[in-house]
Amino acid sequence: MLDGEKQLIERAIRGEASAFGLLYDRYQTQIYRFIYLKVSHREEAEDLTHQVFLKSWQTISGYKFQGLPFSSWLYRIARNQVIDYYRTKKNNLNIEEISESKIDDSSIEVIEILDDNSNVKKIKEAIKQLNPGHQDVIILRFIEELSLKETASALKKSEMAVKLLQHRAIKNLKKILGNNE
Amino acid sequence: MNKNLLENLKELRQIQPDSNYTTRSRFLILAEPTATENLPGFKITQIYKPAFAIGLISIFVLMALGGIYQIIKPGQNDLVVRANEINSSIQVKLDEIKYLIENNNHLNAENILNIQALLEKTTNELKEASILSQENKDLGKSLEKIKSAQEILLQIDAMLQ
């Protein structure tokens, strides 16, 4: 847990909005990024990120300290939010099929930022083609650079399971990148 | 592991949310009550919320005017009428502001921060009015504080139009 975070969380649990605001400032970008890389749609990612923090603020009284960063709890909420999003999506796409969906126009502004490096753009598109579990571990371990322990907590898996998942995820990612060339 | 792949994955950290969205989202989230909040019987020190203090402002208005009503002396009917007018005006304005904020998708970060600051100012004016009236101090001054709060709400309303 980050320095001073425990006190901040305790204040937020007591209902101090300013304390939760500081937690929001600390984690909002990474949660948004996690969601965006999974849904590839800026406005949807914004809505879902908002829901994650709203839900966490409204239920923070139930938060239990387990010696791990607050972000682990947020990532769990975010994962569930994305799962629910796909379940209720109007076109009823199967979750496995989502990885093949095209990039939405509203995400073009983000792609332009990455466009200077076409390799990065290819990787972003390749991540979309992974299954959700592999996406999670790639994003958390290699983009957000969480430790094995933090990733395991966020994904509610054992560290051994995360190691295995990460190995398969990288293998699949390379395979997709190889196929796309 | 391919070093290039790892480096390229790290570059995806460039992805950031829009700052206007972030400010707006934060504002709306912190305005929501948590499960631990208990509005009746709150402590004044706990309710200093930067955003959406509207429900609380209403309570302060009632407290301030409640104090005024208690110390009304015979022959002060004009004061009662004036207090009622201000109360009604503030309540209507609060409802309008709340509706406008909730339904305005074009507020930028600067506007949101300005509104936040004005809501805090309104809360402070009414806090002071409440204290003045409940301590049976200068009634006129209490009413002036309430009028000042009313004017600030008019400013917010103008910003949202």
The full set of domain ranges for chain B reads 3-32+46-160
Q: Which residues of A63-83 are buried (b: 16+ CB within 10 A; e: fewer)?
A: eeeeeebbbbbbbbbbbebbe
Other CB atoms within a 10 A radius of the CB of residue A22 amount to: 15
B93 vs A105: which has the higher pLDDT: B93
* Higher-pLDDT residue of B127, B145: B145
CB-CB: which of A42, A45, A143 is closest to B9? A143
Confidence band of A119 (pLDDT split at 50, 70, 90): confident
**How much is the pLDDT for A109?**
45
> No. of H helices and E strands in chain B?
6, 0
- Range name among A55-59, A139-143, B52-56, B145-149 with the lowest pLDDT average: B52-56
pLDDT at B124: 76
Q: Whose structure tokens read 């921060």?
A: B113
Closest residue on chain B to A32 (Cα) = B17
- Search chain A and give the residue with CA nearest B31: A17
pLDDT at A41 over 80: yes
User: What's CA A151's distance to the chain center, in Å?
Assistant: 11
How large is the ipTM? 0.81
Domains and CATH numbers, chain A: 5-180 (1.10.1740.10)
Residues 6+ apart with CB under 8 A from B127: B44, B60
What three-state secondary structure class fits B1?
coil
Q: What is the mean pLDDT of chain A?
A: 84
- Mean pLDDT confidence for A4-11: 89
Cβ–Cβ < 8 Å for A170, A138: yes
Of B5, B14, B36, the CB nearest to A61: B36
Please, are residues B157 and B96 in contact by the beta-carbon 8 Å criterion? Answer: yes
Report the 10 Å Cβ neighbour count for B7: 12
Closest-approach residue (CA) in chain A for B10: A143
Is residue B45 a contact partner of residue A153, using CB atoms and an 8 Å limit? no
Please provide residue A147's backbone torsions phi and psi, each rounded to the nearest 5 degrees. Answer: -70, 170
Do the beta carbons of residue A82 and residue A38 sit within 8 Å? yes
Please report residues of A whose CB lies closer than 8 A to that of B12: 33, 37, 114, 120, 123-124, 143
Q: Where are the alpha helices (DSSP H) in A60-69?
A: none
Q: What are phi and psi of A101, to 5 degrees?
A: -70, 155
Helix axes A42-59, A70-88, angle to 10 degrees: 130
List residues of B whose CB lies inside 8 A of any A CB: 1-2, 4-6, 8-18, 21-22, 25-26, 28-30, 32, 34-37, 46, 49-51
Window from A21-35, A166-180, B136-150 with minimum mean pLDDT:
B136-150
Q: Angle between the B139-160 and B77-102 helix axes, to the nearest 10 degrees? A: 30
- Dist CA A128 CA A37 (whole Å): 7
The reply to whether residue A123 touches residue B8, judged by beta carbons under 8 angstroms, is: yes
Least confident span in A121-130, A156-165, B73-82, B104-113? B73-82
User: Which range is most confident: A156-170, B17-31, B59-73?
Assistant: A156-170
pLDDT, average across residues A167-171 = 95
pLDDT of residue B146: 82
Q: How far is A174 from chain B (nearest CA, A)?
A: 8
